[in-house]
Structures are given as C-alpha cells and as structure tokens.
Amino acid sequence: MEKKKIVAIGVIQYLNQSCFSKLHSLVSTNGLVCLWNFYGDVAVLNPFTREHIFLPNCQQPLIGCCSLGFDPTTKKYKVIKAHWILGGRNSCEVRYWIYTIGVDKIWREIPDCANIFPIYNFVYIGGVIYCVNRLSKPYNIAAFSVEEEKLIRMILLPDGILAKNSKIVEMKGQVALLDLKNIRGDGYVSLHVLNGTGKTKTWVKHIIALPL
C-alpha cells in the first residue's frame, strides 16, 4: 500500500509540471495520458516512465474534445480531436483530425464526421471510440474505429434518456451512460449499460449507490 501511495504521489507531481500548466483536460488509455486545451495544444505522456511529447498545433481553434485510442493491428496509439470551426451568423461546423503517435508528423483530417460532436467526452473501448453526439437525432451515440479511422455505426440512446443529460463512460468493457439528470438525493444514480452486438444491442438500467 505504501509503495502504491508513493507511485501515486510521483504521478501527481509529474502532471503538475509547469510545461503542462496550460493543458486543462485529460483522458487516459492503457496508462497513457492525453492532455489538451481549447486552443490546439495537445500532449501525450506516460506518467510512470516520465516521458511525454507535445503534438503539432494545427492552428485550428476551439478543440471541443480529444480522445486517445489504441490500434490493435499496428499497436500504435492515435489521438483524435474534434474542433468547432466558427462561421458567420453564429454558424459553425465540426471537423476531425487524427494523429498516430510515432508515425505522423502532422495531423490528418478525417472526412465524413461533420455531423458528430461529443457531449462532455469520448470513451475508448476495445479499439472503438464512442461519444454521445449532440448534433444527431435519434441516433445519438457515434462509434469510431481507431484502426479503420472512420465512423462505423450509430447507436440509439435508451428510451427516455436525453443526449444533453448523458455522460458516456466505460463499465467493465461495455459502453454505459450516466444519467446526469437523475442523480438522486438519496445517494443513488441511474446507469444504463449497453449489452449485445450488431443489431441486437439493448440497454440495461442499473441503480448505483454512490460511495459516501
């Protein structure tokens, strides 16, 4: 226990370095950490080996969200980021870029994702990156293959769940939705877990007790 505590303190101290001070958002996959901010700065680091790299800034403002995925075929990690591109008269579009760690020198734009923008976050599970999509109805969950670098399917939300109230999470290797609107005052929260594959996907509702 003492050894784990020392390791945890070391990780926190490493993440608190001044070079990361402008990066305010974080996602982790297989122990690697991706940090970013809304202005195009992205870093990927291993807090245990104390190694990190800063990815090129592609000069596209307003990063909405980043995700770090693992390609099971090439064994390479890839960073995917979504940008708001502001237009005239309060209009905007969404564009996606991808960067393969150890391979790419510049970001590569991903086509055919213009109508997908995550609410809150992405989540990586088994070679696929998922997000709750604020721009599409009724198929509000988008699934993106890290290996194929493309959108592979859209998934319906559970009945009665609104996209704006849902935070996507991973639960024992399954996609799950935390219902932020129904965090109950008695210390319980509603969680919907996606079971099945292909066209047989179903949602199972769980009531989870929050730790006191």
Which residue range forms the structural domain that includes residue 184? 160-211
pLDDT of residue 198 exceeding 50 = no
Q: Are residues 83 and 137 in the same domain?
A: yes
Q: Are residues 2 and 75 in the same domain?
A: yes
Mean pLDDT of the chain: 80
Q: Are residues 174 and 102 in the same domain?
A: no
Band (pLDDT 50/70/90 cuts) for residue 37 is confident
Question: Is 199 strand, coil or helix?
Answer: helix
Residues 23, 41 contacting (CB under 8 angstroms): yes
Q: Are residues 87 and 59 in the same domain?
A: yes
| pTM of the model as a whole | 0.82
Q: Are residues 123 and 92 in the same domain?
A: yes
pLDDT of residue 129 exceeding 70 = yes
Considering 110, 137, 156, which residue would you say is the last residue of a domain? 156
Instruction: Give tens-digit pLDDT for 48-101.
Output: 888 889 999 876 667 678 899 999 999 999 999 888 776 645 556 788 899 999
pLDDT of residue 16 exceeding 90 = no
Q: Are residues 147 and 177 in the same domain?
A: no
Own/partner pairs, 16-21, CB within 8 angstroms, 24+ separation: 19/43, 19/52, 20/45
Cα–Cα distances in Å, from 92 out to 19, 95, 107, 138, 139? Answer: 31, 10, 21, 21, 21
Q: Which residue has the higher pLDDT, 24 or 32?
A: 32
pLDDT of residue 200 exceeding 80 = no
Question: Is 159 strand, coil or helix?
Answer: coil
Question: What is the model's pLDDT at position 7?
Answer: 46
Q: Are residues 59 and 140 in the same domain?
A: yes
Q: Which amino acid is at 183?
A: I
Using the structure block, give the residue that is written with the tokens 């976050």: 121
pLDDT above 70: percentage of residues in the chain = 78
Phi-psi region of 102 (alpha: psi -120 to 50; beta: other; left: phi over 0): left
Least confident of 2-16, 72-86, 104-118: 2-16
Distance CA 78, CA 178 (A): 26
Q: Are residues 12 and 90 in the same domain?
A: yes
Considering 112, 141, 156, which residue would you say is the last residue of a domain? 156
Mean pLDDT, rounded, for 24-39: 86
pLDDT above 90: percentage of residues in the chain = 23
